Structures are given as C-alpha cells and as structure tokens.
Amino acid sequence: MAEVTKILQPVLLPPFFHKLDGTTNSHFRLCRRNRRNISIRCSSISTTETNKSTKTQNIPWGCETDSIENASNLQKWLTESGLPAQKLDLQRVNVGERGLVANNNIRKGERLLFVPPSLVITADSKWSNSDAGDVLKQYNVPDWPFIATYLISEASLMKSSRWSNYISALPRQPYSLLYWTQSELDRYLEASQIRQRAVERINNVIGTYNDLRLRIFSKHPDLFPEEIFNIETFNWSFGILFSRLVRLPSMDGRVALVPWADMLNHNCEVETFLDYDKSSQGIVFTTDRAYLPGEQRLP
C-alpha cells in the first residue's frame, strides 16, 4: 500500500451555476479566506486508486506541488516585471509544500505583499489569442469560467505566453476534490454532510465545461481545439481557481489571480485578507499580528 495524502479543498462554498446566461452570479464572487477553512486528509489510499484518479491527466504544464525552483523563477520574473522588494521569502514549509515566510521582523498592522495590477490576472487581462477572448466576451461568459478558459489558453502557449513563468510555478495537479474518484468520495466522505457538496462541485465543473463545449467551443474549433480545451484541462484550471482565486472587495468584488501572493498558505483563524489599496494602487494585505524572521505568513 502506498500512502498518499489528498487535501479536500473548499467544499463549503455555494455551488456556482454552469449555465452561461450572461449574468455574473454572486456565487462567482468568492473570498480566499473562506476557501481553505476545511481540510480533510485521507491516508492509506492504494496506488491503484491513485492511478485511477490521475490516469486521465495529461497536463503538460505546471510543476510538482513542492517545486521551489519553479516558484523562484516566478519570483525572478515578477521582480523583473515590476514587483517591488518583499518582506517575505519563498521556502518549503511543513511536509512537501511551499509557503511565504517573513525575512524581517514584521509589525502588526504593517502592509505586505504589494502586487501591481499589471501582474494580476482578471477577466480584463489581455489574451495572447485575442480572437478567443473576443468570442467568450460575445457570449458574456461569467468571470469564473472566463478566467478558467483564459488560463488554459495561456498555458497551452507555453513560453509564448506572458504568464509562462507563473503557470510553470502552478501545481500540475492541484489539491482538489475534482481529482477524487467516486470510490474515494464514498469511502472518505460517507455519512459526511459535505459529501453532497463535493459531488455538486464536481458536477458543476463538468456542467460548466459541457455548456462551454456545446455553445462555444464546438462552433469555434479553430480557436478552442478539443485536444487543449477538454475536461482534463478544465479540472486543472478550476482546481487552480478554487485554491487561488481571490475576491477584491475594493475593486467592486472582482475576482483575480494574484501571482506570488497566492503562494501564501491559509489559517482559518486569521482575519486578514488580500485587497486592492486605492492609495498605493496595488494588491496588498495588512498583518493581523507581528511576525518574526522565518515565521510563515498565513492570511
């Protein structure tokens, strides 16, 4: 028996609607600090079961979840692209994970992690394949599936995409219940009140992909080829969004991916969160307590 640990990421979020009716439902506006409140670790899963979970995966981009090298390359690229000096360093923390730790004494109430808007991914980000982006806008695709499709489009371009260094630092297989098999759901969530939420989450992603495929992708196969835009790549992109997308209250509730800041791990007892600061015109967060050098910063 090979011991494998899987983390059940957010299952207590309201399910989002997969029908693309042109209305951005409030279910698409989710705050990061609510998305990592529940962690269920399932051990002693057999190698056979694990292979069943991942055998359909053929994601050629991203990295292993504990890759420091890829994340360091991301930091270098962000710095060259305008990210100012930070008071946090990327290190391996806990068991096989990455996190940001303080490299100086940090006072309570101090602002950290300034990220300029030019380094943030939103529904307004420029597409490398502008024609594909224009088609999705014509169909009024809501922000969540819009950004999920954008992420796949940019990832498929590899080094040709402006975001290649960021995508290379993302996990090839995110910690997500989207990768759980039916038998794993039945075994580890049996008699659990969150099991139905987990099933709904999986079905919603499948429904969202099918709706996009039938209404848009099948009509524009030159822009959305099935070998790139398929359920495997959508499981990957939604897995990334479920664990990393943040809601920015000061930007009218817009959702965004914030490179570097999304290397932060989460503690559900911490009350601070990322937001847009109008005075400095960047994404920041304010510490809720003091931190010593080498201490992991948890929003």
Domain assignment present for residue 299? The answer is no
209 in any annotated domain: yes
Each residue of 167-217: pLDDT tens digit?
999 999 887 888 888 888 888 887 677 888 888 889 999 999 999 999 999
Query: Residue 251 is part of a domain; what is its CATH number?
Result: 3.90.1410.10
Domain that holds residue 249: 6-286
Q: Where are the alpha helices (DSSP H) in the chain?
A: 47-54, 68-80, 130-138, 143-156, 164-168, 182-188, 195-215, 231-244
- In a domain? residue 293: no
Residue 297 lies in a domain: no
> 291 in a domain, yes or no?
no
Is residue 295 one of the residues assigned to a domain? Answer: no
Nearest residue to 159 via CA among 60, 82, 274: 60
Task: Give a yes or no: residue 137 inside a domain.
Answer: yes
Structurally, how many domains does the chain consist of?
A: 1
Report pLDDT digits (tens) over 54-91. 344 578 898 876 677 887 888 889 899 988 887 777 77
Flag whether 292 is in a domain: no
pTM: 0.75
